[in-house]
Structure 1
Amino acid sequence: MSFPTIETGGVLHVPAEEGLVKWVSGDIYTIKATKSSTGGALGFVEAVVPPGAGPIAHAHKATDESFYLLDGALEFLDGERTFVAETGAFVFVPRLHRHRFTNIGGSDARLLFIFTPGGLEDLFIDGGDDPVPGGRPEPWGIERNQRIADIIERTGSIALPELPR
């Protein structure tokens, strides 16, 4: 019987409270794993979403996105319909599906999200803001998204803002 060769010394370990922190769309994102740190397999982000915050509606050309809600309540957009995900909920968004999330609660929501394959986290790394000690992130308007349009395009995302009703 033959066994495969087992590799050693290549496990990614990011301790608690570590990772690159960026402010994006009014949210606080801690990037725990990137395309480069996982051999392209995935990107992994821990997020804190203040009340009323969250990204504008968008889609990803070649990336699936999964969310796991640790705490709070988020309204998700799925195309034109909305639904509420609460603590313990899992949401999978296939590539090319229009989506967004908004914290509809009165306190910070916490969630994890995974990009497969990795690479989309570069949008946060390259386009996000560095945290300001003692500050809180401000929600982004459409003009802020326009300022990083080249990064949005390069990372395979498509901004699809909702129209006023």
Structure 2
Amino acid sequence: MSLQTLANVMHYVQADKGPSFWGPGDRYTFLVTGAQSGGAYFIMEATVPRDGGPPPHIHRNEEECFYVLEGQLEIRLGDRMISASTGDFVHVPRGTVHCFRNVGTAVARTLLIFSPAGLEGFFEETLERVTDPSAPQPENMEAVVARYLAVAPKYGLEFVRV
């Protein structure tokens, strides 16, 4: 099947049924991968507990967009801080230092959209697969962070201090 054909195939994911992965503090559920979009984009849902979110980083290969489904996120875009809540949309141009943090009192959920696709390989390679959605996050997140740092350059991802 060609990429053009793959991009034209209907794709349906029931709520909480996509492949999910534990990151340090957050859970990520894949909705559409590059294989399903002909390489055009990758979309996942992030479930972010209070004070959760990734450290500051830069994507060298992708644009990233946030669409906040519920909750309150503080999103860093370079030197600018944005308070984003339910229904808000944020575009992060490639090469921009950014991160997000749940500053609300409840779990936040956001769609993360990456274009072009490809970054899903980073998540598959570094995060822990969720085998039981009702189970708490595993306690081996130090190993995940070590894999993050080791594998990041392969995907044009750079973690930075701000």
Which residue in 2 is equivalent to 1:79? 78
Whole-angstrom CA distance in 2 between matches of 1:105 and 1:16: 23
Count of paired positions: 155
Unaligned runs of 5+ in 1: 1-6
CA RMSD of aligned residues (A): 2.3
Greater than 4 Å deviation, 4+ residue runs: 137-141
Q: CA 1:24–1:149 in structure 2 vs 1: closer, same or farther (change >3 Å)?
A: same
Distance 2:25 2:140 in 1: 4
TM-score normalized with structure 1 length: 0.84
Structure 2 unmatched runs, 5+: none
Is this contact kept in 2: 1:26–1:138, CA < 8 A? no
Structure-2 change in CA distance of 1:137 and 1:51 (3 Å): farther
The more displaced of 82-91 and 149-158 is 149-158
Identity within the alignment, %? 35
Q: CA deviation at 1:138?
A: 6.3
89-98 or 22-31, which deviates more = 22-31
Task: Tell me the TM-score normalized by structure 2.
Answer: 0.85
Contact 2:45–2:110, Cα closer than 8 Å, also in 1: yes
Q: Is the 8 A contact 2:23 2:144 kept in 1?
A: no
Q: CA deviation at 1:39?
A: 1.1
For residue 23 of structure 1, what is the aligned residue in structure 2? 22
SS state of the match for residue 125, structure 1? helix
Return the structure number with greater helix share: 2
Range 103-112 or range 118-127, more displaced: 118-127
Question: Who is 1:4 aligned against?
Answer: none
TM alignment of 1:1-165, pairs within 5 A: 10-131=9-130, 133=132, 134-136=135-137, 144-162=144-162
Cα pair distance change 1:65/1:95, threshold 3 Å: same
> For 2:157 and 2:122, how far apart are their aligned partners in 1?
9
